[in-house]
Structure 1
Amino acid sequence: MPDQQRPEQRQDHEALAEATAAGLPAVVGDVIEGDTGGYHHYADRDQVSRWLSDAGLELVDEEEEWLGGYGYRHLFLRSATRSDSGAAADDNPLV
């Protein structure tokens, strides 16, 4: 059966195995070695989507910014449960 994990998922699991072998408390997505400048947690996209949904937020737009070997995912969000405060609010994705 072929490996169904995305490359970044394999890297996450490899980093977890290394941290665990070193006796460090870690979960999938934790990165504490290399050129990270300290501790970072990189949640996968599916996990981030679940967190946002659980928080009552919906994705309006997104943009990726790559800076030579690493990148940022910028998310433009709004409340999934928008109030009925008039037409102006319906046109404003920040409400």
Structure 2
Amino acid sequence: MIIKLSPKFGAEPLTLIKRNDTLSINGETFDFTTIPEGAVLPESAINCEYIIGDITRSNGHLIICLMLPCGPDSTDAANFPEDIVNPRNGHIGLPE
């Protein structure tokens, strides 16, 4: 899994928990296990304000872009986040 983060000012906090190809976003679980290699799941098929853009699977990696809430005191790590590549199962730490 590759999680791309897109900062947005003033949004509610974000909590992520990963379990293989399942991602819980603020307590709501999304199962992406059925997305085959090369497929695209359109953003419009997912009812989640934090998911930005289509979800794809490429070279075995599920690729998803999420909105990262930021505030006026956010660090450079949050304002210019790096991709999260192959996170372990469990809680995913995000830049603040």
Q: With structure 1 as the length reference, what TM-score do the two structures score?
A: 0.24
Larger radius of gyration between Structure 1 and Structure 2: 1
Q: With structure 2 as the length reference, what TM-score do the two structures score?
A: 0.24
Quick one: higher RCO (CA 8 Å, sep 6+), 1 or 2?
Answer: 2
From the two aligned structures, give the one with the greater strand fraction. Answer: 2
